[in-house]
């Protein structure tokens, strides 16, 4: 049986890994995640590990770069413009942008375009308003939701950890989307970086580690292709 647990309040995709998110009114969910999410990622050319990506951990200012699709409805075929923190507009493939990132990280970098997305672990991440409220309370002040880089935020009265191993349905029509919630998301130092100033606040990491077992939000695997919209009712399968 299903019962409603909340409504979608935000849908966010990240055209370039570790750059600022792009809030949209709706997005298609495919097997690889939200279409247009983390299609691109900068990586270190001399890094042969399984995680060669340049992220806000090594280059905090990267989260202040804004990447935008020229054609938001067709992100796979769209050009991408990046607005730097100083207001310059560069094409994502402009060598000048790669040079900036290489200089900031101290290593030569490349740009990867992946149709499957450059996700850390799972294709979609979900949080709830209740989870954010709990973190704010534990931390002693409101924290910008952008720190946690979720794909979907649900207005719900419970933390999403209660949905692990259960299925969420977004919407009620033929194009409804479904996600199998797989596990809580272990957090790293990226959440300490202020999305506006790129300054680090280590106390944020301590709050999550000490009060929430170093986890916030949940990962999910697409279980039915469809569309997720702001305002969609969200149902959980018992």
Distance, in Å, from the CA atom of 63 to the CA atom of 92, rounded to the nearest integer, reads: 15
pLDDT for residue 171? 97
At residue 179, the pLDDT reads 98
Domain range summary for the chain, segments of one domain joined by + = 2-237
Kindly list the distances between the CA atom of residue 177 and the CA atoms of 164, 223, 226, in Å, as whole numbers in the listed order: 17, 8, 4
**3-state secondary structure at position 91:** strand
Out of 2.40.50.140, 2.40.10.10, 2.40.33.20, 1.20.1530.20, select the CATH number for domain 2-237: 2.40.33.20
Helix (H) or strand (E) holding 208: helix 202-212
Angstrom distance (rounded) from CA 129 to CA 9:
9
Q: What is the pLDDT of residue 98?
A: 97
Q: Model-level pTM?
A: 0.95
User: Which pLDDT score is estimated for 1?
Assistant: 82
- Please give the Cα distance from 5 to 204 (Å, whole number): 28
Distance CA 61, CA 193 (A): 9
Q: What is the DSSP letter of 21?
A: P
pLDDT tens by residue, the chain, 238 residues: 899 999 999 999 999 999 999 999 999 999 999 999 999 999 999 999 989 999 999 999 999 999 999 999 899 899 999 999 999 999 999 999 999 999 999 999 999 999 888 998 899 999 999 999 999 999 999 999 999 999 999 999 999 999 999 999 999 999 999 999 999 999 999 999 999 999 999 999 999 999 999 999 999 999 999 999 999 999 999 8
Residues 202, 223: Cα–Cα separation, whole Å:
36
What is the rounded distance in angstroms from the CA atom of residue 172 to the CA atom of residue 177?
A: 9
What token pair was written down for 121? 């672990």
Largest separation between any pair of C-alpha atoms in the chain? 54
């Amino acid at each position: 049986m299903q019962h409603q647990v909340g409504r979608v309040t935000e849908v966010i995709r990240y055209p370039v890994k570790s750059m600022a998110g792009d809030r949209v009114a709706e997005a298609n969910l495919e097997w690889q995640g939200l279409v247009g999410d983390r299609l691109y990622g900068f990586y270190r050319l001399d890094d042969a590990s399984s995680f060669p990506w340049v992220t806000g951990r090594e280059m905090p200012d990267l989260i202040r770069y804004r990447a935008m699709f020229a054609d938001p409805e067709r992100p796979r075929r769209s050009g991408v413009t990046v607005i730097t923190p100083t207001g310059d507009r560069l094409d994502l493939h402009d060598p000048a942008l790669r040079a900036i990132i290489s200089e900031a990280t101290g290593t030569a970098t490349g740009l990867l375009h992946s149709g499957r997305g450059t996700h850390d672990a799972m294709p979609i991440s979900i949080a709830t308003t209740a989870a954010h409220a709990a973190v704010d309370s534990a931390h002693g002040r409101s924290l910008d939701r952008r720190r946690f880089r979720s794909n979907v935020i649900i207005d719900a009265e419970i933390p999403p950890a209660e949905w692990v191993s259960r299925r969420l349905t977004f919407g009620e029509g033929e194009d409804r989307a479904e996600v199998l919630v797989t596990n809580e998301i272990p957090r790293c130092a990226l959440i300490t970086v202020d999305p506006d100033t790129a300054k680090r606040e280590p106390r944020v990491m301590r709050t999550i580690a000490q009060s929430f077992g170093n986890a916030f939000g949940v990962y999910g695997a697409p279980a039915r292709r469809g569309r997720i919209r702001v305002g969609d009712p969200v149902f959980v399968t018992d």
